[in-house]
Structure 1
Amino acid sequence: MNFSQLPVTSAFCGLIAFVVTFLVMPTLIRRLKKANIVGRDIHKYSKPEVAEMGGIGILFGFAIAIMVGVYLNPTWQSQLTITLIVILLTGVIGMVDDLIMLSSKEKLILLWIAGLPIMWVTPPNVGLLYMLLIPVAVSVASNLTNMLAGFNGIETGLGVIALSSLTLSCIIMNKYDVAIISFSMLGALVAFLFYNKYPANVFPGDVGTLIIGASIAIIAFIGRVKIIAFIVLIPNIIDGLLKFRSAGVMERQNFKPTIVKEDGMLEAPSGSFNSLIRSILKKPMKEKQVVHIIWAIGIFFGLIGILIAYFNKGYMM
């Protein structure tokens, strides 16, 4: 196998991310529970305890894969190294938020700072406004993937769908260098989904959800696939707009939780904020049903992204 070929290198990095994340998760889950880093699964009637901050496993698998990518593809060393720095900074912010709960304003500012290094690896001959938009995009995208969350597998599954669309789009458009990033995050997310799907053994925490959005923003700007990245994030964008329109900027601790009945059916509380999930919960549903509907919406927009890539081969977006 010739690892100097970019298509093979990209896929190999994805495989490395999958294997590392898959193998590290059982030990990580045990250690998190032992350290009492747990949360209640509020969408189950019995409210079982589940390990929190499992996104550390995603972060670890992604980091190892990117380091392998740097070794196998030294000509793209600066882009991959900067990407790793931004994702690690975003993950650290997520850990801090998981532990002490940052305010929305604090999180936005810190994520903007975390995105600043990407400005150094942008395509040449771009304006100052374009460069300043990059850390803003990292901050906004990270928050969007963090907001549409809470049900078993929903955020991880949407991440898998979005990164699958971006990866295939990069392959179609012969952007195998940036596909190293998308393959690496995709491999880690697929592995994590085995443990996060219903009934979840672990939650990603903000350390997991924030890095999904950050990676999408990085791929959008470095790979020049901004339109496709925007499209795959449309479910998250709709969710964010619904929440902002109905409740403005609202801290998580002020949210009214979804009502869980004895038979496990979920029901949206009256007089609370609106969201994509609660727009679906017009009638009582099982948690798995809601998650599958959200995933289906994600698949729809993911396929649109792939079609756009197919019909725009050779063009920068």
Structure 2
Amino acid sequence: MNLATIIISAIIGYLVTYISTKWVINIAKSRGFVGKDINKPDKPQIPVLGGVSIVAGFIAGAFTFLLFSNDSPRSEIIEKVIVSVLLSSLLIGYLGILDDIFNLRQSIRAFLPIFASVPLILYSSGHSIISIPFLGQVNFGIFFYIIILPAVLTITANAFNMLEGLNGLGAGMGLIMASALAYIGLRSNGPTFYAGVMALILAFVLFSFLLFNKYPAKIFPGNIGTYFIGSVIGSIGIAGYMYTALFFLYIPYAIEFFLKARTKFKGVSFGKISPDGYLYWDDKPNSLTHVVMKLGKFKEYQIVAILWGIELIFAILAIIFQEIVIKI
């Protein structure tokens, strides 16, 4: 595969995200799609639906790669990877934009990712074996298609949506996760390599969006953004058979799930703000963000940096253990 093609595709994704994010900021303001930045003293109104630009950038990058790969001897494998990742992710992105507009019930949020897993189930037909560290290869048979795949996509999409609420948090976490999958994939062969290309495109897209979403945020990703990022990461992990990496990358989100479960998923990730601009939480923690707030006196961007650091540790573990699996 031509390295230039990969780089051009990633750059296209970056540029389309950058341009469309500026456009969405202006449009969202004029149409009233704004939300309060609760972690700021003056609670400014910030444009939402930034996930639209993330979707646009990722599609542009993926289609560019697909276009330049038409004459590749492995074009059939490339098409299967890209189409399965895009279809599943776009279906969940659709769920996100519906949730942004209509505030959907939890049951609907849980059902659509199961339906969205169908393209990945068709893609994975004949591949029901998962390599597990220290256990070797395990064939799950029919349960792989009817339970494991839908569960993985549902968890990766919904869990990512839970840990959000601070400027740049979700986009930065997604950037770290996508970079880890890109590193693993681009050092591999076959479908895993092409899934790595998709992860690299996503990393460039998220970096571009983060320029506007970092503290102080000029735009929020909205549910369409968080659901889409989570589903793309999950879809890439499934399409590239990087299940071990997904396990480690989502450990912080598993912790977040249990913290939110204590509140029957009514808890928030926001903090309370002190007069001098520090975030704090004086109740039982509902989120990993609250756990960090209880560790010391931090401003919003410092809390985000700490959580990025935690995710980076698990990303390194994901790379190490995925490489162990590859050697099995």
Cα offset, 1:23, TM superposition: 1.7
Matched with 1:135 is 150
Structure 1 residue 191 corresponds to structure 2 residue 187: no
Distance 1:310 1:280 in 2: 31
Runs of 5+ unmatched residues, structure 2: 70-74, 129-140
Give the superposition deviation at 1:7: 4.6
Normalised by the size of structure 1, how large is the TM-score? Answer: 0.91
Aligned 8 A contact 2:24 2:49 in 1: no
Task: State the shift of 1:311 in Å.
Answer: 4.2
Q: Which runs of 5+ in 1 are unaligned?
A: none
CA drift at 1:310: 4.1
Deviations 1:178-204 (A, max 9, x none): 122212211111100000000000000
| Structure 2 CA distance for aligned equivalents of residues 168 and 309 of structure 1 | 11
Counterpart residue number, 2:32: 36
Separation of aligned partners in 1, 2:203 and 2:104: 27
Paired position in structure 1 for 2:42: 46
> Which residue of structure 1 aligns with residue 100 of structure 2?
98
Question: 2:106 and 2:276 mapped to 1: Cα distance?
Answer: 35
Q: 1:222-233 alignment to 2 at 5 Å?
A: 222-233=239-250
Paired residues, number = 306
Deviates more, 1:8-17 or 1:56-65: 8-17
Q: What SS does the corresponding residue of 2:211 show, helix, strand or coil? A: helix
Native 8 Å contact 1:160 1:189 kept in 2: yes
Tell me the distance in 1 between the aligned counterparts of 2:36 and 2:203: 27
C-alpha distance in 2 between matches for 1:6 and 1:243: 45
Distance (Å, rounded) in 2 between the aligned partners of 1:119 and 1:146:
23
Tell me by how many angstroms 1:136 deviates: 2.0
Contact 2:278/2:297, CA 8 A, preserved across alignment: yes
Normalising by structure 2, report the TM-score.
0.88
Deviation, 1:143, is 0.8
Note the C-alpha offset of 1:38.
0.3
Q: Which residue of 1 aligns with 2:309?
A: 296
Contact 1:256/1:269 (8 A) holds in 2: no
1:27 is aligned to 23
| Equivalent runs, 1:139-288 vs 2, <5 Å | 139-174=154-189, 175-244=192-261, 246-247=262-263, 249-251=264-266, 255=268, 258-270=271-283, 272-282=284-294, 283-288=296-301
- 2:46 partner SS: strand
Match of 1:84 in 2: 86
Identity %: 27
AA in 2 matched with 1:206: N
Assess if the C-alpha contact under 8 Å between 1:260 and 1:267 holds in 2: yes
